[in-house]
């Protein structure tokens, strides 16, 4: 059955892949991209793939862009748009902190508030928030980004309770480290303002993170795109969907550490340490 699907952040990565595949499967896709050149590129991608979709400029922090999106009837809202600002929390410029929250939290919440009323009125719909494994754990040096995803997890949990019985389904999808370029570009943002030689973080800690930051073995994005498409199409989804499922024990192990952590406890684990 064809669904009317609005997906944000469709100019690249997961969003673009999911938008094209959902359109290929016959859904009525409205793909929101941040800037006009991305719209031109995505329309060309769709034509090349032989699929039909509506592409619109949708900067989720822009009220006029959001208003245009709210005019669409939507069965499934996929909140995929997001940015990453990195750097030590004790030093990152507050303007960058606010920017990260404006997009990942406030812009996403504004999209929900604009689309949820029509779903509740109709008695059906689905809201999928793309959070992150970083919504469940904190990754050093990207704690501001992971804080935005923690906030989005909390908002999503609240929505699930508050909209119970309305016919609106609420769920998250939590990607691990996938090689879309998003993680790499996000990790680079700190070097626009941070000098590691003068950072408050001890050099050996900074160096250990840089050597083991986990960006060398990122996963094929297609796995997450497939999971996103399945989540959009199915009925009765699980609330939380961590992809790949193999990282769930690692996430839970890190959370367990925090309960009894002492002054010298490192609140992180090398995934390889779990065997």
Per-residue DSSP letter, 83: -
Residue 70 CA to residue 106 CA, distance in Å, equals 16
User: Which residues, in sequence order, are CB contacts of 252 under 8 Å at separation 6+?
Assistant: none
Angle ∠(225,229,233) on CA atoms, nearest 5: 170
178 is catalytic: no
Nearest Cα to Cα of residue 86 among 142, 31, 39: 142
**Contact between 215 and 187 (Cβ < 8 Å):** yes
Residue 7: in which H helix or E strand, if any?
strand 4-7
Residue 117 CA to residue 224 CA, distance in Å, equals 29
Angle ∠(195,201,202) on CA atoms, nearest 5: 105
Any bridge partners for residue 108, and if so which?
none
Query: What is the token pair recorded at 229?
Result: 């498409």
Given 14, 141, 145, 206, which residue is catalytic? 145
Tell me the catalytic residues.
Answer: 145
């Amino acid at each position: 059955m064809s669904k009317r699907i609005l997906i944000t952040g469709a100019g690249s990565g997961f969003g673009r892949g999911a938008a094209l595949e959902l359109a290929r499967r016959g859904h009525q896709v409205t793909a929101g991209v941040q800037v006009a050149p991305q719209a031109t590129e995505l329309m060309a991608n769709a034509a090349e793939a032989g699929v039909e979709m509506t592409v619109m400029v949708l900067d989720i922090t822009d009220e006029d862009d959001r208003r245009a999106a709210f005019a669409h009837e939507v069965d499934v809202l996929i909140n995929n748009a997001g940015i990453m600002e990195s750097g030590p929390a004790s030093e990152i410029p507050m303007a960058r902190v606010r920017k990260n929250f404006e997009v990942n939290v406030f812009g996403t919440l504004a999209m929900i508030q604009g689309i949820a009323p029509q779903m509740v009125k109709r008695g059906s719909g689905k809201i999928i928030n793309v959070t992150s494994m970083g919504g469940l754990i904190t990754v050093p040096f990207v704690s501001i980004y992971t804080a935005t995803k923690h906030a989005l997890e909390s908002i999503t949990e609240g929505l699930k309770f508050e909209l119970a019985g309305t016919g609106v389904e609420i769920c998250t999808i939590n990607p691990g480290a996938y090689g879309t370029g998003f993680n790499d570009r996000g990790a680079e943002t700190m070097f626009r303002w941070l000098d590691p030689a003068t950072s408050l973080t001890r050099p050996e800690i900074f160096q250990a993170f840089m050597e083991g930051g986990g960006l060398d073995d990122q996963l094929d994005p297609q796995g997450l795109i497939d999971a996103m498409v399945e989540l959009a199409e199915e009925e009765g989804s699980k609330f939380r969907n961590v992809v790949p499922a193999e990282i769930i024990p690692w996430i839970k192990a890190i959370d367990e550490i925090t309960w009894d952590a002492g002054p010298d406890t490192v609140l992180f684990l090398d995934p390889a340490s779990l065997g």
